[in-house]
Amino acid sequence: MQLASRRAVLCLAVAALAAPAQAANSPAAALIEKAANEVIALIKAKTGRDREAGIRAILVAYFDLPFMGQSALGTHWAAASAPQRERFLKAVASAEARAYSERFGRYGGQTLAVGRVSTRPNGVTMVDSKLSQSNGQPITIQWELRDAGQGLRITDVKIEGVSMVMTRRSDFNSYIQNHGGKVEPLIEELEKRAAN
Amino acid sequence: MVAGFFKTMAAGTRHSTIAVLAAAALLGGCASGDTGANEPWDPLETPNRFIFSINRAVDIIAIRPIAVLYRDWMPAPAQRGVHNVLDNLGEPVTAINEVVQGDPSRAATTMARFLVNSTIGLAGIFDVATSFGLTHTKEGAGNTVGYYAGVEPENGGFYMVLPLAGPSNARDAAGLMADYAVDPFRILTFALNVDWLLYSGPRWGATVVDVRSRTLYALDDLEKNSVDYYAALRSAYTQQRADIIRQKREKTDSRSELQRRDNLALVR
């Protein structure tokens, strides 16, 4: 047991050493680290509604929420009218704020070690990271970043191989198909949820 | 109830080899043009949703409350002990799968773990093998089929919801049956006519509580943040299984996850 934990500490130390070296030449890794630090500071300082508002501000600053929303709607995006798109993006942004506020709210005592950064020819940057917990296995988190004209932004988070955007996309698609293939019921449902 | 389910599965184990072959054949059928962006294949959606709603009712009434109590009131070392014992009971099946996957040295490590933990680790309660540098792995026939099937690992045949066991697909359900068929503990206890109250009942009961208590947070999150929980779970399950299988293939397979995501971006 002791040996194992010593090894884990060593791994983390190596990761911690490796991270600044990569962070120095990778704006993507630096962005993730900056966002993580902001989240940690916010979680320590605020609770409840204030925390949700703070998380929302961080999401707007670091995530490309319109892109994520559009990806989540998939092929139905084309079928939606301009006002529908606007309402949908607004509702999805508050849904995301609530979801991440809760996810980050559990963030306490863990450390996020940023690892390998890989840039793809199509302009997507993937940042690997590990969230080490005080008990149990570390959680693998992959961040997907894109630059769509307004600087590098996070466009997807993959936790243990499960993409948040892909899951939402599947979720929304199924809901739309079970409600007559129309986007309107989904928007209404999301707005209703955002209201409470 | 869990034991009952696995007893009915025992009746089906003779057909499991055929099922595995059938699953592999099904998987081989649809290899081209697969970017992984498609929705999971779910031709049985109506019966699946029906079983899903029953599972959910049973979960809300019985399994989830027990799992919450277990997580909050059982001392952490005891929880770890239970988890270790269950892991240890699964080692022989893991070793068999590692041999089939063509990695006998990894299988030897797994068996070494099993021998060390079963003896020095007091029937697996303490995971001493990890501190000897023998790391833990978990393999099932679902992974083995996925490893050899020449398709995107998102494609595991048709999706299905198993009674009590929850989300699965043709590949993983066939894998479950194959694992059950080859499990030395199952064979031994059947041969010796061990009463189910002594072995299979406690084992599966503990597995349900252990797994459920570990998935509490993730499943609550998914349920709360989805408009169609069934579809969200179907997607998350497919993605996570695919990720595990892809990591196995990565060593030999040049088609990497990153390439897949490039394709995905094109589709988007």
- SS3 sequence of B5-70: HHHHHHHCHHHHHHHHHHHHHHHHCCCCCCCCCCCCCCCCHHHHHHHHHHHHHHHHHHHHHHHHHH
pLDDT of res. B133: 81
- pLDDT at residue B10 greater than cutoff 50: no
pLDDT tier for residue B37 given thresholds of 50, 70 and 90: low
CA distance A141 to chain B (A): 12
Give the per-residue pLDDT at A13.
42
Nearest to A178 among B224, B228, B240 (CB): B228
Looking at the predicted structure, is the pLDDT value of residue B152 above 90? Answer: no
A121 and B262: CB-CB below 8 Å?
yes
pLDDT of residue B253: 46
Q: Select the residue of B76, B227, B246 nearest A189 (Cβ to Cβ).
A: B227
Mean pLDDT of chain B: 81
Q: Which of A107, A160, A167 to mutate to test the interface with B (most CBs of B within 10 A)?
A: A167
In the chain, the amino acid numbered B154 is: E
Please, are residues B124 and B85 in contact by the beta-carbon 8 Å criterion?
yes
Give me the pLDDT at residue A19, please. 43
Q: Which candidate from B226, B239, B246 shows the least CB-CB separation from A166? A: B239
CB B151 within 8 A of CB B105: no
Matching residue, tokens 């499960």: A162
Confidence (pLDDT) at B56: 94
B211 inside 8 A of chain A by CB: no
Residue % of chain B over a pLDDT of 70: 79
Pick the residue with more confidence: A10 or B137? B137
Residue whose token pair is 């009952």: B4
Express each pLDDT in B154-163 by its tens digit. 888 899 999 9
Residue pLDDT tens, chain A, 196 long = 444 444 444 444 444 444 444 444 678 888 888 888 888 888 878 777 788 788 888 888 888 888 888 888 888 888 888 899 999 998 988 888 888 877 777 766 677 888 888 887 777 888 888 888 766 678 888 898 888 777 888 988 898 889 998 899 999 999 998 998 888 999 999 888 887 7
Top pLDDT among B17 and B191 is at B191
**Which residues in chain A are closer than 8 Å to B265, comparing Cβ atoms?**
122, 124
- Give the per-residue pLDDT at B257: 56
CB interface of A with B, residues 109-168, below 8 Å:
118, 120-122, 124, 126, 135, 144, 160-163, 166-168
Taking each continuous run of H as one helix and of E as one strand, the counts in chain A are: 8, 5
Mean pLDDT across B113-117: 92
Which of A110, A145, A117 minimizes the C-alpha distance to A131? A110
Query: Does A102 contact B221 at a Cβ distance shorter than 8 Å?
Result: yes
Q: Average pLDDT for residues B71-77, to the nearest whole number?
A: 90
Tokens of A128: 């690997």
Higher-scoring residue by pLDDT: A22, B143: B143
Supply the pLDDT for residue B63. Answer: 93
Query: Could you give the 3-state DSSP secondary structure of residue B132?
Result: coil
Task: Report phi then psi at B198, rounded to 5.
Answer: -90, -35
Decide if the complex's ipTM is over 0.90.
no
d(CA A58, CA B265): 25
Torsional class of B66: left (φ above 0), alpha (ψ -120 to 50), beta (otherwise) = alpha
What does DSSP assign to residue B198? T
Alpha carbon of B120: minimum distance to chain A alpha carbons (Å): 13
Least confident segment among B67-71, B75-79, B246-250: B246-250
B50-64, B167-181, B236-250: least confidently modelled range: B236-250
Strand order in the sheet with A152-159: A111-119, A125-132, A139-147, A152-159, A162-163
Cβ partners under 8 Å of residue A117, min gap 6:
A22, A26, A28, A29, A125, A126, A127, A128
DSSP 8-state code for residue A82 = H
* Residue contact A102–B224, C-beta within 8 A: yes
Kind plus residue range of the DSSP H or E element containing A144:
strand A139-147
What is the token pair recorded at A119?
């840039």
